[in-house]
Amino acid sequence: MTGRSAPELRLESVTHVYQQGAVRALDDVSLTVGPGEVVALIGQNGSGKTTLVRHLNGLLRPTSGRVLVGGQDAAGRTVAQLARDVGLVFQDPDRQIFAGSVRSEVEFGALNVGLHRDLLRAAVEGALATVGLADAARTNPYDLGGSRRKLLALASVLAMQTPVLVLDEPTTGQDVAGVGRVRGVLRDARAAGHTVIAISHDMEFVATEFARVVVMGGGRILADGTPAEVFAPSGWELLRSTYLEPPLAAQVGDRLGLGSTPTQAALLAALAGAAAQ
């Protein structure tokens, strides 16, 4: 991982409008994500999550308001320039894979951001190892199964060594091994002090891996806090209004009157604590 420190990401009163005002994908949204934060973005389809993250690398520009990356207005930078700081992994790997081999696919992004020779090789090897595709470097991407192609897409952005990593539904359609790899990526990112923002509808994954959860609906931020805060029983009505279910651990904890227990670990700790009394 690079020694570059992650830039602060800031949205200031960002509104994004489609179709001459008919659709307000983002409605006066303000959000700050500090360097090294690991944030989950949850909400139903159409809540604005995808629109929001596309502002972070310039694919979308605000209709009004500002987007600041590292204190600098993103408006003055092209997408290709912002891609050096913010790596965005799309949900569907088949809408980006084009190379004949896994290695070439992973090299693409790294080459674009200016990595050469030794640095390039190290970045590519590292990315392949992290997602478990090191032994498939020469394989044709379409000879891999769907889950591994998704990991390939992830690797191709990891090799760019961006200090900010944005993931769109990283665990959807993944099996246990694949989810394990994604957790490994998060672990490495935390260790390197990189910022991670992930869109996900896997509530258990969100509760266990992320220190901060932002709930979106109708183009606005509805809640923002730790998993314990967001998944506390007082927040369930809000969650359910966006068609999300709190994690099982939270529901069980509530049934047992143990307060907010968003994860298995928290639930067991609370039980043990209750037993000790």
Partner 1 sequence: MLALESVTYRYAGALRPSLREVSLTLSEGEVVGLAGPSESGKTTLCLVASGLAPRTVGGTLTGRLLLDGDDAAPLAIHQLAGRIGIAFANPATQLSGVADTVYEEIAFGPMNLGLPRDDVIRRTDDALATLRIEALASRHPARLSGGQQQLVAIAGLLALRPELLVLDEPTAQLDPAGSRMVADALARLADGGASILIAEQKTDLLAEICRRVVVLADGAVALEGPAAEVLADPRLEALRVAAPADVRLSRAADVARLPAAQRERLRGAVGS
Partner 2 sequence: MTLATVTAVVAVALGGLIGPVILVTVAVLGPALAAGVAGSLIRTTLLLSLPIAISAVLVNLFFFPGGQTVLLQIGPITATAEGLGFALEILARILAISGAITLFYLTTRPGDLVVDLEHRGVSARVAFVANASVQTVPTMVERAGQITAAQRARGLDTEGSVWKRVKGLIPIVAPAVLGSIAEIEERTMALEARGFTRPGRRTLLWHPPDSGAQAIARWLLLAGGVAIVVARAAGWLPWLG
Strands 195-199 and 164-168: parallel
Decide if residue 264 touches partner 1 (CB under 8 A). Answer: yes
Report the nearest approach of partner 2 to the CB of residue 71 (Å). 22
Give the neighbor-by-neighbor strand order of the sheet with 72-73: 23-33, 9-18, 64-69, 72-73
CA dist., res. 149 & res. 141, Å (int): 7
**Choices 97-105, 208-216, 226-234, 251-259; region in contact with partner 1 by CB under 8 A:** 251-259
Nearer of residues 45 and 78 to partner 1, judged by Cβ: 45
Residue 157 interacts, among partner 1, partner 2, none and using kind-specific CB cut-offs from 5 to 8 Å, with partner 2
Nearer of residues 85 and 169 to partner 1, judged by Cβ: 169
Pick out residues in 128-167 that bind partner 2 (CB under 8 A).
Answer: 142, 156-157, 160
Decide if residue 2 touches partner 2 (CB under 8 A). Answer: no
Nearer of residues 167 and 250 to partner 2, judged by Cβ: 167
Instruction: Provide the b/e sequence for 109-134 (b: ≥16 CB within 10 Å).
Output: bbbebebeeeebeebbebbbebbbbb
Nearer of residues 63 and 242 to partner 2, judged by Cβ: 63
| DSSP code of residue 194 | -
Inter-CA distances, 119 with 6, 80, 122, 145, 260, Å = 19, 19, 5, 29, 46
Strands 38-42 and 212-217: parallel
Decide if residue 100 touches partner 1 (CB under 8 A). Answer: no
Inter-CA distances, 103 with 70, 97, 136, 138, 177, Å = 31, 11, 8, 6, 21
Decide if residue 45 touches partner 2 (CB under 8 A). Answer: no
Nearer of residues 60 and 216 to partner 2, judged by Cβ: 60
CA dist., res. 15 & res. 55, Å (int): 11
One residue of 20, 78, 234, 277 binding partner 2 per CB under 8 A: 78
Residue 245 interacts, among partner 2, partner 1, none and using kind-specific CB cut-offs from 5 to 8 Å, with partner 1
CA dist., res. 217 & res. 135, Å (int): 42
Report the nearest approach of partner 1 to the CB of residue 96 (Å). 17
* Helix or strand run (H / E) with residue 80: helix 79-82
CA dist., res. 19 & res. 193, Å (int): 39
Pick out residues in 121-150 that bind partner 1 (CB under 8 A).
Answer: 145-148
One residue of 1, 17, 79, 271 binding partner 2 per CB under 8 A: 79
Decide if residue 94 touches partner 2 (CB under 8 A). Answer: yes
Query: Interface with partner 1 by CB under 8 A: which residues?
Result: 44-45, 145-148, 172-179, 201, 203-204, 243-245, 248-249, 252, 255-256, 264, 267-268, 271-272, 274-275
